[in-house]
Structure 1
Amino acid sequence: MTQQTLNRLRELKLSGMAEALERQQEQPGTYEELSFTERLSLLVEQEQSVRQQRKHDRLIRQAKFKLNATVQEIDYQHPRNIERSRIARLAQRDWLDRGQNLLITGPCGSGKTYLGCALGHNACLQGYSVRYYRTSRLLLALTQSKADGTYHKLLAQLAKVRLLILDDWGLEPLKAAHRNDLMEIMDDRYAQASTVLISQLPTDQWYAQIGDNTLADAILDRLMHNAHRLQLKGESMRKKLGTLTEDEHLS
């Protein structure tokens, strides 16, 4: 009977409950004093836990992060103008629920991409859909989608992503078609979903990089309205870590 029940649970895609039932069978002394309701509750809790973990894994896989980063592993030892309290607030879900944006700026190697990926990973653990792009590759994908007829489908997919992370923003001046693409994306997402922009350029130089005055006003208004900002400072983290001795790396 137990094996039949296990088979049926797996056929019903209740693998968490099946695993928990097997555990109860293997350790009868641990569970024999529990009531039927208590043992059933443990089965349900295990199923819920397994499903939640699967969802987190799927969201993280779909996000395609550049770095395997977590908020717990953010380095606060080197002075970069990062406060634990600010990261702790951003690790909460309030700004995501409100569709607010985050602008991360700072010099090359200061850890901007790590911070963006860490906050994106944290959003996945909270059940939000996330997608990471280098800005140039997203613009290339949009150009290609126009050629193969999937442009509107891609725009619809981007609009549904709860947290869109655009890295290397502003490295090159935008072409006219790309300005229009970004306007479409930001207009769809305004006050509905959150966007993280990561850039070496300070925000006061973004206007010039966009180019067209009218579209620059429209895009930046949607991006910067009620946006949170992290302005990183200091030397390159890559250079600092590269100068550490082997013992310091291990400590």
Structure 2
Amino acid sequence: MTTRTGEPIGNELLGLLKALKLGALADTLPARAALARQHKLSHITFLENLLADEVSRRETRSTTLRSKKAGLDPTMHLTDWQAPDDLRYDHTLLNDLATLRFLDASQSLIIQGPVGVGKTHLATAFGHLAIRRRHTVAFSRADKLFHRLRAARLDNTLDTELRRLTATDILIIDDFALRPLDATETSDFYELVIDRHRTKTTILTSNREPAEWLAMTADTMLAQSAIDRLTANAHTLTIEGPSYRQRTRAQLDATTHPEHPQ
């Protein structure tokens, strides 16, 4: 292997790097070596820069793998969420939530609003932020979550699945109460909320306000108990405005079928 400056990296060095599980350093070694010569860096500083590259690479890889395991969309980061001017929400609250102080306090978050305003994007973005701080995260659409719990009953793994979900630092439930919850789903929702109350963070996105959730459940007493606990310890971010998807569709139509001057 030859560096960009023409200096060869011998097989012996490559073998040593691989033996130490540092083979990826070979990718940055040429540039770092050239930079060290250019700025007359000490051997210690050169080694520090080289190892910093490796730490950064490993952190990035670890974050990517943990985000994938959590079920987070890799395209939904806070920096990618560009709210149009006609979207209405509490900017101060959103900025405060981005600090994740609510997570440190084991508080929850409800993101509510109509279809297509970015609720899922924001919930996912908070998940990515938490992953970077080495918290455990699990993301699931509500219907898929309850389906998985129902399946766990059939193979006698329900207790294991509930313990896993209860132990997760941030549980993100997307599209909650989009459709009615039957008796089993209502019971599972109750168990999750009770077990996580004031110890872990739950993030829910919903097209409905919490006041409407009760009518979507099959057991009023269980649901009321769960909803009361959840809302008492949760921030609520309300987003109002037209659907982003419809806005994008309108822009696409305008591009595809531009109006011709008469």
Give TM-score scaled by structure 1 length.
Answer: 0.87
Aligned to 1:246: 255
| Matching residue within 16, 24, 48 for 1:8 | 16
Count of residues paired in the alignment: 246
Matched-pair contact (CA < 8 Å) for 1:16–1:43? no
| Matching residue within 19, 42, 45 for 1:38 | 45
Matched-pair contact (CA < 8 Å) for 2:115–2:243? yes
Listed as ranges, the gaps of 5+ residues in structure 2 are 1-8, 257-262
**In 2: Cα distance, 1:137 partner to 1:239 partner:** 25
Aligned to 1:185: 192
SS at match of 1:243: helix
SS at match of 1:103: strand
SS at match of 2:127: helix
Aligned to 1:134: 141
Aligned to 1:72: 79
CA shift at 1:216, angstroms?
1.6
Give TM-score scaled by structure 2 length.
Answer: 0.83
Aligned to 2:97: 90
SS at match of 2:41: coil
Matched-pair contact (CA < 8 Å) for 1:10–1:18? no
Matched-pair contact (CA < 8 Å) for 1:162–1:193? yes
**In 2: Cα distance, 1:136 partner to 1:161 partner:** 19
**In 2: Cα distance, 1:15 partner to 1:214 partner:** 59
Matched-pair contact (CA < 8 Å) for 1:15–1:47? no
Residues 1:238 and 1:67: Cα distance change in structure 2 (over 3 Å) = farther
CA shift at 1:27, angstroms?
5.7
Task: Give the share of equivalent positions with the same residue, in percent.
Answer: 29
- Please say if 1:194 is aligned against 2:201: yes
Residues 1:147 and 1:234: Cα distance change in structure 2 (over 3 Å) = same
CA shift at 1:236, angstroms?
1.9
Matched-pair contact (CA < 8 Å) for 2:33–2:46? no
Matched residue type, 2:165: L
Matched-pair contact (CA < 8 Å) for 2:108–2:201? yes
CA shift at 1:213, angstroms?
2.9
| Matching residue within 92, 107, 110 for 1:103 | 110
**In 2: Cα distance, 1:59 partner to 1:205 partner:** 34
Matched residue type, 1:122: L
Residues 142-151 or 62-71, more deviating: 62-71
**In 1: Cα distance, 2:11 partner to 2:32 partner:** 13
CA shift at 1:2, angstroms?
5.9
Listed as ranges, the gaps of 5+ residues in structure 1 are none
- Please say if 1:160 is aligned against 2:147: no
Q: Which has the larger radius of gyration?
A: 2
Matched-pair contact (CA < 8 Å) for 1:20–1:42? no
Aligned to 2:131: 124
| Structure-to-structure mapping, 1:25-64, within 5 angstroms | 25=33, 29-30=37-38, 33-64=40-71
**In 2: Cα distance, 1:21 partner to 1:236 partner:** 48
**In 2: Cα distance, 1:165 partner to 1:112 partner:** 11
Residues 65-74 or 53-62, more deviating: 65-74
